[in-house]
Amino acid sequence: MPRPPRLVWAGVAPTKNGFSTPYVELDRPAWAALRDTTPLPLTEDDLEALRGTTDPTSLDDVRDIYLPLSRLLNLYVSATRQRHAAVRGFLGEGDQPMPFIIGVAGSVAVGKSTTARLLRTLLAQWPDHPNVELVSTDNFLHSNAVLQERGIMNRKGFPESYDRRALVRFVSEMKAGAPRMEIPVYSHLAYDLVPGQTQTVQRPDILIVEGINVLQPPLPGRLAVADFFDFSIYVDAKVEHIRAWYLDRFLALRRTAFSDPRSYFHAMASETDEEQAVEFASGVWRSINEVNLVENILPTRGRATLVLHKGADHTIRRVRLRKT
């Protein structure tokens, strides 16, 4: 019989300042106990196909962290559908399926893409929502030509480098029940949008929107993409740990993807040694990615429904859930 979860920070009790908090924070064993009887549908080969470059996520991580999260999200989907049905009944409207929308946020190199892919696979195993789509906000980056024209190529990934109106329009129309939408496709190999190529999204049961910018607040007088989320996840870690993971990933890509002559960063593989590559990647991290993390991404952590906090070895150690 599983022991009850240990509440590291429980919203039922006042804080030291005398105020109650709507959050509960659980350590890994306590969170893992909430899996209940949710089965593990993945093999090691399945997981290998879902992991990002240098991401060490294991089947133990899937069992301890992602299966309980899958179970929780299944409960959220059911409750949200009941609420939507009640509102439609009140308005006298017919049944119009709307997707349950999940946002997944976090820094570059923190592992949010692996989290999103795992959730897509696990959530599709539940019989009441088998159609799960995953969309990256990279698809809504402005093209390199536009970024260069605006003089912000060195701020790629910052809020102004995205077509935020197009992203909000896509998510809002999906939430309104649009049967089918076409969106641009971004290539990490080319480091740019792919001309003439689109991703088709056809009214899923669940839509996962993954990207560094998904929890950012709206511009004055406008809606933000997060306004349409039913649940949001922030993948968290210390800045110094993310920096180390970023450099490890960059060097791994230098040995693999960057060796492709079509890669935007091919020169990193063909014209530099490892020391020069580390110096380049460190400069990019320091001047772009760390600045964006500290100024724009990390401040959105408090907007998430759930925070997955990783230790130095990429292992998720704690889970914080907003209960209201």
Q: Indicate whether 75 pLDDT > 80.
A: yes
Closest CA to 306 of 84, 172, 119: 119
Compute the average pLDDT of residues 154-177: 96
Residue 21 or residue 2, greater confidence: 21
pLDDT, one tens digit per residue, over 215-231 is 999 988 899 999 999 99
H-helix or E-strand spanning residue 171? helix 164-175
| pLDDT tens-digit readout, 196-220 | 999 999 999 999 999 999 999 998 8
Give the residue-averaged pLDDT of 111-116: 96
Higher pLDDT, 36 or 193: 193
If you average pLDDT over every residue of the chain, what do you get? 92
pLDDT digits (tens, 9 = 90+) for 242-274: 999 999 999 999 999 999 999 999 999 888 899
Residues 6+ apart with CB under 8 A from 27: 6, 8, 317, 318
- How would residue 2 be classed by pLDDT, with cut points 50, 70 and 90? very low
pLDDT (0 to 100) of residue 19: 62
Q: For the segment 8-40, what is each residue's pLDDT rounded down to a tens digit?
A: 443 333 455 556 778 999 999 999 999 988 999
What is the structure's pLDDT at 17? 58
In the DSSP assignment, the letter for residue 141 is B
Binding site for ATP, residues? 106-113
Q: In whole angstroms, what is the distance from residue 268 CA to residue 276 CA?
A: 8
Q: Output the known binding site.
A: 106-113
Half-sphere exposure of 58 (CA within 13 A, CB side): 7
Note the pLDDT tens digit of each residue in 289-298: 999 999 999 9
Q: What is the pTM of this model?
A: 0.92
* Domains along the sequence of the chain with CATH: 23-322 (3.40.50.300)
pLDDT of 187 higher than 80:
yes
